[in-house]
Amino acid sequence: MIVRMIKDNLTDANADLFSGMMDFIARQGVILEKKNPFSYVTNVVTVKSGSVLTIKNGGAWKSFRVEADVDLSETDLDAGTFEVGKDYYVYLVDDGADGQFIISLNATFPAGHSADDSRKIGGFHFGHVRKVSSDGLWVPVDSEGTKFGTGSIGWKDNVTTGIVPNSVWDLMNRPKCSPEGMVKVGHIWVDIYMASAAESITLESGTNGLHVASGRLQSKYGQVPVSGAEGLNWFSFNELATRSNKRLLSYGEWVKAAYGNPQGLDAADTYGWTKTTNSARTRTGCRVNATTGAHDAAAGIKPAAISAFNIVDAVGNLYEWLDELSNRHDSTSFAWQDVLGSGKGQAYLPNNIGMVAYIAGAFWNAGVHAGPRAVTVDIYPWNVNPGVGSRLACDSL
């Protein structure tokens, strides 16, 4: 590796200066990126040349300069091999010489090291990837590279696994929240997977739709997404999103993220959990075993339920609450409506369903009605509906 220690035993003040110069980034504000992101041949991330990174090992600060691009692959893992649906972290390690980079599943420090002699500089998600054009426009392509083409592998089925290119993050190019299970879409970061429970969710007085008392959401492969089946409504998802420094998407943001996911099918779950005979939600992820949640490359369900920007389940499975509201004009006789939940005030509306929230994507049995622009505007935000979940987003740092 071409990494050189440029300064040892910095004072705290000087170390702050070095770090304040941002662990200087030479090119386009990026420390870490996927190498050849649209070739889909190798799974390599590159630490960009010119980056200057600091570590405080015990009481001593050290600063390292990356003098040429450093390519990292599965051989740089501290243990094991890359697994679908997992988040990986890239560490700079003070090895007593010029430093080295290690990839690890461990979110604290790599095996054989400690929090003192290592620093997390970025990471990525390893999962399903829709093949898109190499011109930076993210247009789905067929196996011959034709945009929306119908080659030997048509664009709808042209999906692979690997390092998700727009999931790669670093110290500067990252969301304000924790980056696990997220991809960058334009200038925001979006959860790859529908929200599931990272911690058990409880509600005030045990009553559906009231304030969330405990619990936290996650974006994770192979999980059962949460919905009104857990007593959650639009208000609940907003409260839970805040706990992770995230938010709901607008319809415009959702459409951008869902772009390139094929429309659902009536008789198959290829492009989403949409078959008209489905009777309930299923686990998050492409090629997932519906019983165990493990990745199953041969028989896993929803093999191509992924958008051009690599979010999964935008089509079918559950509708997703969006952060947009409208009103219904069923009546012009406005009055106070006691619909917001006990102790939560009242809404001045024409009737008790006079305000509605946008939901996108469609139910598990919506068939061809499900798609990357599918939207419904007739469910009120206090509705605890088992067919409606959500997906969260976060602004860039």
Domain count, the chain: 2
Residues 97 and 246 in one domain: no
CB 160 within 8 A of CB 288: no
Does residue 48 have a pLDDT over 90?
A: yes
- Does residue 142 fall inside a structural domain? no
Give the pLDDT band of residue 328 (cuts 50, 70, 90).
Answer: confident
Residues 116 and 240 in one domain: no
Does residue 377 have a pLDDT over 80?
A: yes
Distance CA 95, CA 57 (A): 10
Q: At which residue do the structure tokens 């094929």 appear?
A: 262
In the prediction, which pLDDT does 10 show?
A: 52
Does residue 329 have a pLDDT over 60?
A: yes
pLDDT tens, position by position, 182-203: 999 999 999 999 999 999 999 9
In the prediction, which pLDDT does 29 show?
A: 73
Does residue 20 have a pLDDT over 80?
A: no
Residues 81 and 225 in one domain: no
Mean pLDDT of 166-188: 97
What CATH code is carried by the domain that includes residue 236? 3.90.1580.10
Q: Where are the alpha helices (DSSP H) in 212-360?
A: 234-243, 251-258
- Does residue 173 fall inside a structural domain? no
- Does residue 122 fall inside a structural domain? yes
Residues 91 and 236 in one domain: no
- Does residue 203 fall inside a structural domain? yes
- SS3 string, 107-169, reads CCCCCCCCCCCEEEEEEEEEEEEECECCCCCCCEECCCCCECCCCCCCHHHCEEEEECHHHCE
The whole domain housing 128 covers 3-136
- Does residue 214 fall inside a structural domain? yes
Least confident window among 14-18, 109-113, 129-133, 288-292: 14-18
In the prediction, which pLDDT does 27 show?
A: 44
Domain boundary among 136, 154, 170: 136
Residues 343 and 222 in one domain: yes
Does residue 18 have a pLDDT over 70?
A: no
Give the pLDDT band of residue 50 (cuts 50, 70, 90).
Answer: confident
Give the pLDDT band of residue 217 (cuts 50, 70, 90).
Answer: very high
Please report the sign of the dihedral spanned by the C-alpha atoms of residue 314, residue 124, residue 323, residue 218.
Answer: positive
In the prediction, which pLDDT does 1 show?
A: 42
Does residue 14 have a pLDDT over 60?
A: no
What CATH code is carried by the domain that includes residue 130? 2.80.20
pLDDT tens, position by position, 56-104: 887 778 888 898 999 999 999 999 999 999 999 999 999 888 889 999 9
Does residue 5 have a pLDDT over 60?
A: no
Give the pLDDT band of residue 25 (cuts 50, 70, 90).
Answer: very low
Average pLDDT, the chain: 93
- Does residue 283 fall inside a structural domain? yes
Least confident window among 20-24, 119-123, 326-330: 20-24
Distance CA 124, CA 166 (A): 8
Mean pLDDT of 225-229: 98
CB 316 within 8 A of CB 274: yes
In the prediction, which pLDDT does 54 show?
A: 87
In the prediction, which pLDDT does 8 show?
A: 52
* Tokens describing residue 75: 């051989």
Mean pLDDT of 139-163: 98
Residues 252 and 376 in one domain: yes
Which has the higher per-residue pLDDT, 222 or 24? 222
CB 183 within 8 A of CB 166: yes
CB 53 within 8 A of CB 23: yes
- Does residue 100 fall inside a structural domain? yes
- Does residue 16 fall inside a structural domain? yes
In the prediction, which pLDDT does 174 show?
A: 96
